[in-house]
Chains A and B, each alone.
Chain A
Amino acid sequence: MSLPQQHDSQAPPIRADRLSVRYDGNLGLEQVSFTVAAGERVAVVGPNGAGKTTLFKVLAGILQPAAGSVEIHGHAPGRHVCVGYVPQRATINLDFPVSVAEVVMMGRIREIGLLRWPSRADWSRVDSALTRVGMQFYRARPIGSLSSGQQQRIFLAQTVAQEADIVLLDEPLTGLDLPSQEVIFEILDDLRHRPVTVLVATHDLSLASSHFDKVLLLNRRLIAYGEPQATITPQNLFEAYGGHLHVFADGKLLVDTHHEGRQ
């Protein structure tokens, strides 16, 4: 394993420049350029198949760009352990026999290194990460016995234990009730001061406009990027969602998320 990349302190946490990515032979992302500043919280919005997950995988160093470039703290991704990526819940086997504390400890696996066991200091970081997300009383519980919202907090704690300063959350709010969503945002507010830069893929336009610094509207191409009021406009949304967007007489918008885009 190569050593983690040093950060360029002058460079922004995330910079994408005319980034194109192929996914299963198709063009998943096309000429996407944007910059995210330290501590910013960005909602990544777009129909299914718009390339939200693809974008996250490139930032996490799992997929390689086909053209253009992406930089994490001034360097190509792939050798960074400062990026915490929480994929959609469906991709993880939650019947696996691991405790909450063990799941959080997984965030420290690179820091601990090969052929070594977690030290007492590692476990105390796990405990403080769990306290940070308010789950310190659940450390010995099997991960599968928690509710979706609690599991989401555990995976956030994992990125805290990882000491990630860029956190990518793929649809963390889907299926959560409002109180659970608020808890997640309280944790993100707390992390912002470290500062942790957060990208959240979401379908919820009202949350995107009320709880985020910026909105990145994506449909293979970058439709719009900036402050929520400037980004979430009927015209931009129509461009992103096409015919699956309904504009009501009172100006309210409804995105038909069941029939949108290519899956």
Chain B
Amino acid sequence: MEPILAWLVEPLTYPFMLRGLWAALMIGLVVPVLGCYVVLRGMAFYGDALAHIILPGVVVAFLLGWPLAVGALIVGVLAALTIGGISSSTMIREDSAIGVVFAGALALGVVLLSLQRSYAVDLAHILFGDLLGVSPADLALMAGLSSVALLTVLLFYKEFLVLSFDRVLATTMQLPVRTLNNLLYVLLAVVVVISIQAVGIALVVAMLVTPASAAYLLTRRLGRMMLLASAIGAASGVIGLYASFYLDVASGPAIVLVATAIFGLIFLFAPGRGYLWKTAYVPVQNLPVLVEKER
């Protein structure tokens, strides 16, 4: 018991590791919740694009000496509303609108960045995350944004559910469909900004899509899917951070690799829906249920 405990505690004696762990845990818990909407609504490309679009905001904030997350948040929200505006007011399809804004913003970000001398080092941090460089102020901002995101999902849970399941019903019920859609896009921008610190622009899509997809293989209820995705995300964050400490590898990619491995295991072994299960057994989920448990 003693050596295991020491092994677990040792990294936490470094303050930067402790902050990194808190950040990994927070990101792992919150981002996959929004990721469930991304997976169910087929918005993976949107999430990936949003992360790259944020680059110029990060660079400008860096130049002005602001917290990077503030610049990222402003650009992220603007981009979310711009994409929504282009695709709802013209003939251009949403994925094309995303592509236009995505490429333009990324190019602008790289140009701005190349004006800097420390180009190479900073780009690597922005692209692949720097969990060990999280400052106490970063951590506080992350906690604030995470709470706002979770609280909003909780408050609008039933509206987002109807909107994602059956848009026609949402319209028939006279819900403010466009406002709710924009709210969801802004929330996505918020969690993308949170996760950039951990896994970087290039791998944000992993935090959005991988835990939620794994959870989707395990349940057919949105609430449970969100809880499971959260658990998988948090486990990936913590295990990935320890792996990066002891194996001396970059923390962001380590977290993503752990999440991918968990997805792989669930994909193979999920009861009823896993690949091996499906090839070996007859599915039992379609048998009639005679006695239902109370809610």
Contact = CB atoms under 8 A, between A and B. Distances in A.
Interface in A122-138: 123, 137-138
Nearest to B222: A97
A85 B216 CA distance: 29
B158 A112 contact: yes
B293 interface: yes
A92 B165 contact: yes
Interface string A107-130: 101101011011000010000000
A85 B168 contact: yes
A142 B220 contact: yes
Interface in B264-295: 285-286, 289-290, 292-293, 295
A60 interface: yes
Interface stretch (A75-83, A172-180, A195-203): A75-83
A37 interface: no
Nearest to B216: A97
Nearest to B36: A97
B225 interface: yes
A98 B165 contact: yes
* Tier of interface size on chain A: 35 or more
B10 interface: no
B169 A106 contact: yes
B171 interface: yes
A78 B216 contact: no
Nearest to A2: B174
A99 interface: yes
A144 interface: yes
B141 to A, nearest CB: 26
A46 B66 CA distance: 63
A102 B174 CA distance: 19
Contacts of B164: 96
B162 interface: yes
Contact of A144 (B40, B168, B220): B220
A93 interface: yes
Contacts of B171: 60-62
Interface residues of B, number: 33
B138 interface: no
Contacts of A145: 220, 285-286
B158 A1 contact: no
Nearest to B175: A109
A91 interface: yes
Given A109-B158, A109-B159, A145-B285, A97 B172 contact: no
Given A96-B40, A96-B164, A140 B172 contact: no
Contacts of B224: 97
Nearest to A144: B220
B216 A109 contact: no
Contact of A118 (B158, B173, B293): B158
A65 interface: no
Nearest to A162: B173
B267 to A, nearest CB: 17
B155 interface: yes
Interface in A175-191: none
Given A97-B225, A144-B220, A109 B292 contact: no
Contacts of A144: 220
A60 B172 contact: yes
Nearest to B164: A96
A91 B168 contact: yes
Nearest to A62: B171
Contact of B289 (A92, A114, A137): A137
B117 interface: no
Interface in B208-229: 216, 219-222, 224-225
B161 A106 contact: yes
A227 B11 CA distance: 81
Nearest to A142: B220
A142 B159 CA distance: 19
A61 B172 contact: yes
Given A93-B165, A106-B161, A85 B289 contact: no
A114 to B, nearest CB: 7
A224 interface: no
A79 to B, nearest CB: 7
A257 to B, nearest CB: 24
Contacts of A81: 173-174
Given A1-B174, A83-B172, A85-B168, A98 B159 contact: no
B174 A79 contact: yes
A91 B172 CA distance: 14
Residue of B40, B176, B220, B293 ringed by the most chain A CB atoms within 10 A: B220
B32 to A, nearest CB: 14
Interface string A62-88: 100000000000000011110111010
A97 B220 CA distance: 4
11 contacts: A61-B174, A96-B165, A97-B40, A97-B222, A98-B220, A102-B222, A109-B162, A110-B175, A137-B290, A140-B295, A145-B220
Given A61-B171, A62-B171, 7 more contacts: A98-B165, A105-B158, A114-B156, A117-B158, A139-B292, A139-B295, A144-B220
